[in-house]
Amino acid sequence: MHGKDFDIRVNSTHRIRFTREAFEPENRMLIDLLTTNGQAKVIAFLDRGVTESFPNLEAKVAEYLERMPGFISKGTVVQTGGEDCKRDAATLQAAWDTIEQAGIDRHSYIICIGGGAYLDVIGLAAATAHRGIRLVRFPTTVLAQDDSGVGVKNGINAYGKKNFLGTFAVPYAVVNDFSFLHGQPETDRKAGIVEAVKVALVKDASFFRWIEEHVDKLSKLHPHTLEETVERSALLHAAHIAYGGDPFETGNSRPLDYGHWAAHKMEQLTNFKLSHADAVSVGVALDTVYSWKTGMLDEQSAIRVLTVLGKLDLPTWHKSLDSFDKDGTRKVFIGLEEFREHLGGELTILLLNSIGRGEDVHHMDNSLLDECIDWLATRATLPSPS
């Protein structure tokens, strides 16, 4: 066998489902989705913020699990989610403890119901316990359902950096239950639309035009329009992961992270008081204006992007952009090196050639970025988010 090389491809199935009221007794979607040997265990982790918005949810989930034929229910666990759960390892450790104490094994299923940050933490617990337990994600926010919840990333923050510790792991399934969307505060629902705008900008010009045409309904959170936006965005994100050629980001290019190099740094600079969605909106605005100012993108297209963000009441500037080091350099520029370091290799930032089509660049001009930030600051007419 010496001198012979073998390349073996390992395939994974990424199941995505859309439904409403998944835990109502008559809804068999979850029962039909999961397979069992007759002794498979199932446990559900719930984000406390979701249970507060839906007071009957924990009882419904517990009852549903008990009724699932061929499964052994290990009950429900409620934990505090949100960005704080990613900032120390307490939530992760508690999840590991629960998994071990409940005897959850590799024939079992972990169901996680919550926002993107909580899905990240429980996803990491599931991916590392027994080297991987089957995970079913139920993202509950617009931001999670149209973006991160359908992805393959898990992680927590460490060393002052976002998602420094984590894994890539394809979940057994992702279930977008639209009934969760409409229980969110209005501002959070609107903010979550930014990831749909982002993926349209880099992947699908026709989808961006559709968002433009429906922006008034979206700004009013018209239920059907919001759900269609979430579904189209989720499928675009999933399609890139499945067919983009680099699902686990072994290369340098990260097209789904358009606008994120600045967003991640702004979150850190504000001690995460600035939400991820609002930070991404500012980051998208900055990279769009930079694309224009470099001559890659035409002015009309750049203004279209800013107009859509404005009509959705999403920010295009934040005061953290005006935080400077002693030498007069904006602190947000540190985010470029951290973005490069996260993957290794050379710096790779996606900019726009046109709406729906991006191009990787490997250098960003700080002086031009300064000009773009100042331009956005002058243009801003809405109060910046706190």
Residue ranges of the domains in the chain?
A: 15-183, 186-379
What would the mean pLDDT of 17-37 be, rounded to a whole number?
A: 93
Please provide the average confidence, as pLDDT, over all residues in the chain.
Answer: 91
Proportion of the chain above pLDDT 70, given as a percent:
92
CA pair distance 317, 314, nearest whole angstrom: 9
User: What's the pLDDT tens digit per position in 272-290?
Assistant: 899 999 999 999 999 999 9
Residues contacting 285, CB < 8 A, separation 6+: 259, 305, 306, 309, 315, 316, 317, 376
Tokens (6 digits) for 143: 């931001």
- When the candidates are 3.20.20.140, 3.20.20.70, 3.10.20.740, 3.40.50.1970, the CATH number that belongs to 15-183 is 3.40.50.1970
Residue of 151 and 214 predicted with greater confidence: 214
Confidence of residue 160 (pLDDT cuts 50, 70, 90): confident
DSSP assignments along 318-330, one per residue: -GGGG-B-TTS-B
Proportion of the chain above pLDDT 90, given as a percent:
75
Confidence of residue 317 (pLDDT cuts 50, 70, 90): very high
Contact (CB, 8 A) for 21 and 27: yes
CA pair distance 330, 107, nearest whole angstrom: 50
Tokens (6 digits) for 312: 């959705």
Does the pLDDT of residue 41 top 70, yes or no?
yes
- Residue 2 is predicted with a pLDDT of 61
CA pair distance 290, 364, nearest whole angstrom: 9
- Residue 246 is predicted with a pLDDT of 54
Does the pLDDT of residue 208 top 90, yes or no?
yes
- Residue 247 is predicted with a pLDDT of 60
Of 61-75, 212-226, 228-242, 321-335, least confident by mean pLDDT is 228-242
- Residue 238 is predicted with a pLDDT of 84
Strand partners, 161: 158
Does the pLDDT of residue 5 top 70, yes or no?
yes
Contact (CB, 8 A) for 277 and 83: no
- Residue 272 is predicted with a pLDDT of 87
131 CB burial (10 A radius; 0-12, 13-18, 19+): exposed
Which amino acid, one-letter code, is at 126? A
- Residue 340 is predicted with a pLDDT of 86
What would the mean pLDDT of 87-111 be, rounded to a whole number?
A: 95
| Homologous superfamily, domain 186-379 | Dehydroquinate synthase-like - alpha domain (1.20.1090.10)
Does the pLDDT of residue 346 top 80, yes or no?
yes
What would the mean pLDDT of 250-275 be, rounded to a whole number?
A: 84
DSSP assignments along 11-75, one per residue: ----EEEEES-TTSTT--HHHHH----S-EEEEEEEEHHHHHHSTTHHHHHHHHHHH-TTEEEEE
15-183 and 186-379, same CATH topology: no
The alpha-helical segments, DSSP class H, found in the chain are: 29-33, 48-53, 57-67, 90-101, 116-128, 142-146, 186-192, 194-203, 205-213, 215-219, 223-243, 260-269, 276-293, 299-311, 334-343, 366-379
- Residue 252 is predicted with a pLDDT of 46
